[in-house]
Each structure stands twice: as C-alpha cells, then as structure tokens.
C-alpha cells in the first residue's frame, strides 16, 4: 500500500450519480456527509445539443444541492466549478433560499 502524505484526512471523495432520485442520494450520503460544512461540485454532462445540456445539468446540480441540504445541517459553502465555455452569450441565473438550499437555474444560449 502506498502512503500518500499529501492527502488531507478531512477530505473524502465519494462517487455518486446525481441524476439518481434525491431520496437515493440522501440514503447514500447521510452518514458520510452529516458533518460537511464545505462542498465542491465539479460534475458535468457534456452533449452538443444545448437543450439536452440543460436537461441533464440542471437536475444534476439541483439533486446535488437538495440531497446535501437534507443531510448536512452545518453546510456553509458550496463551490461550483463551471469551467469555461466559448460562445457569444451565456447567462446563468442561480438563487438559493436562506432557510433551505433550493436552486433555480436557467441557461440562456444566444450564439
């Protein structure tokens, strides 16, 4: 076994399918994420069809937020890594309620 000294024992990577129902995600994360205060979201489904892009990625992020909100009462921060896109106009509307973490996302593409 290789000993990686650089790894932070506070960080745990878990593989989840965020297109699964939120109830399944809650069941899979309730123990490991109960003490989470900071989360990083880097999942993305790429397709060339902008309509399908929205249909896949909005639920992906919404399920992440809804399931994490249900199991992590001390959640303070979510970092959304969006990468880079090349197009002439992209707008992303995102809002979070203060009493619970519900997302509203709208993508507008105007190439």
Question: Can you tell me the mean pLDDT for 43-60?
Answer: 82
Q: CA 35 → CA 11, 29, 40, 76, distances in Å? A: 11, 11, 15, 11
Distance CA 89, CA 81 (A): 19
CA–CA gap between residue 108 and residue 111 (Å, rounded): 10
Res. 51: pLDDT tops 90? no
pLDDT per residue as tens digits for the range 5-45: 667 777 777 889 999 999 999 999 999 999 999 888 888 88
Residue showing tokens 């960080």:
11
């Amino acid at each position: 076994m290789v000993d990686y000294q650089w790894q932070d024992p506070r960080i745990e990577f878990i593989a989840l399918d965020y297109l699964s129902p939120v109830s399944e995600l809650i069941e899979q994360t309730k123990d490991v994420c109960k003490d989470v205060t900071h989360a990083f979201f880097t999942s993305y489904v790429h397709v060339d069809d902008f309509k399908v892009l929205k249909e896949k990625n909005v639920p992906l992020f919404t399920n992440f937020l809804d399931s994490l909100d249900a199991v992590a009462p001390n959640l303070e921060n979510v970092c959304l890594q969006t990468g880079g896109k090349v197009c002439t106009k992209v707008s992303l509307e995102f809002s979070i309620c203060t009493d619970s973490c519900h997302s509203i996302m709208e993508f507008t593409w105007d190439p």
